[in-house]
Structure 1
């Protein structure tokens, strides 16, 4: 494990929010992020909801959903900055999100578990709370030797993001399907170029 479990959960949430709530390309096809009514159920689906102490509802209020969609666009700038060796830009985007959310650490405890440092925003709404947590996790990543673990998919016509949790820092794709697409294309290219 590269990051502690709470930071890892928040980085996973940041990846999911960026990949689900920002326009671009996904697996070789144009991707349009959900909006309006679709956004209200897409945001909770993107958040980790398995924690009993903080269950995610099926639909969020429009204000929280829109806040998270806007935060996801800023989070994307962090991933893009790190992927393109523009750490200053990534840090500026993370700092912007930290300021907007008023992110602050707080010790929380789940019954039967030890105290843990969690990150909260200026209020406990889903939009601000999750954005503050994700912003803090991204800032911790950018400010560490693990900053290079934030990336954007290298597959053609895909701009989804990932956190490389591999042991040797070898991940370059957002998903196994994108990795397979690239490998299959390289294989077809080699076969087509082989002398006959």
Structure 2
């Protein structure tokens, strides 16, 4: 990703995973349409896909674990919402609440012949809680850095999806190019009508 911000490849993946979970598992608006989280089977499949994108060694979650992890999404969403409202103190308070619930701790692990990596587990000891700890700690690390300014909620009308900006210039304000294009087109039409 030439020219893009690389906060830390692992933390960036966890922060993006948190945004993806928020967008998957919280109701609201997506590109002008009402959005509801998918039914259990699809939620499980899509949750496993986003976890695999965050860590290619992710062990697939069963339906119960995927549902438990999805229940974390409103807490993660609060972090993004506070940041979008320029309320870093509120974002930190929301992250600290999650961290107090999860009580994560570090462990060193490796897969096959790869080097050791630092991972985080939750004291609850199940896969859903461990993933919740990783995603929350990724957000917490972002909040404690300049990267916090690159997290937010889509600023397009009728859309409330989270985004992570890893672009070089750090000016992203939309969840997708579709929302960005929609806003630009509306602005162009408004200028044309004013002319």
Per the normalisation by structure 1, the TM-score is: 0.89
Tell me the equivalent position of 2:45. 41
Aligned length: 191
**1:124 shift after superposition:** 4.5
Tell me the equivalent position of 2:105. 104
For residue 106 of structure 2, give the secondary structure of its aligned residue in structure 1.
strand
For residue 105 of structure 1, give the secondary structure of its aligned residue in structure 2.
strand
Tell me the equivalent position of 1:15. 19
Unaligned runs of 5+ in 2: none
Decide which moves more: 118-127 or 16-25: 118-127
Tell me the equivalent position of 1:61. 63
Q: Which residues in structure 2 correspond to 1:84-99 (within 5 Å)?
A: 84-99=85-100
CA distance in 2, matches of 1:35, 1:89: 31
Matched, 1:189 2:193: no
Query: For the aligned residues, what is the CA RMSD?
Result: 1.9
Query: Higher relative CO (CA 8 A, sep ≥ 6), structure 1 or 2?
Result: 2
**1:50 shift after superposition:** 7.6
For residue 162 of structure 1, give the secondary structure of its aligned residue in structure 2.
strand
For residue 47 of structure 1, give the secondary structure of its aligned residue in structure 2.
helix
CA distance in 2, matches of 1:106, 1:33: 32
CA 1:157–1:51: 2 relative to 1, 3 Å:
same
CA distance in 2, matches of 1:157, 1:50: 28
Which runs of at least 4 in structure 1 moved beyond 6 Å after TM superposition? Answer: none
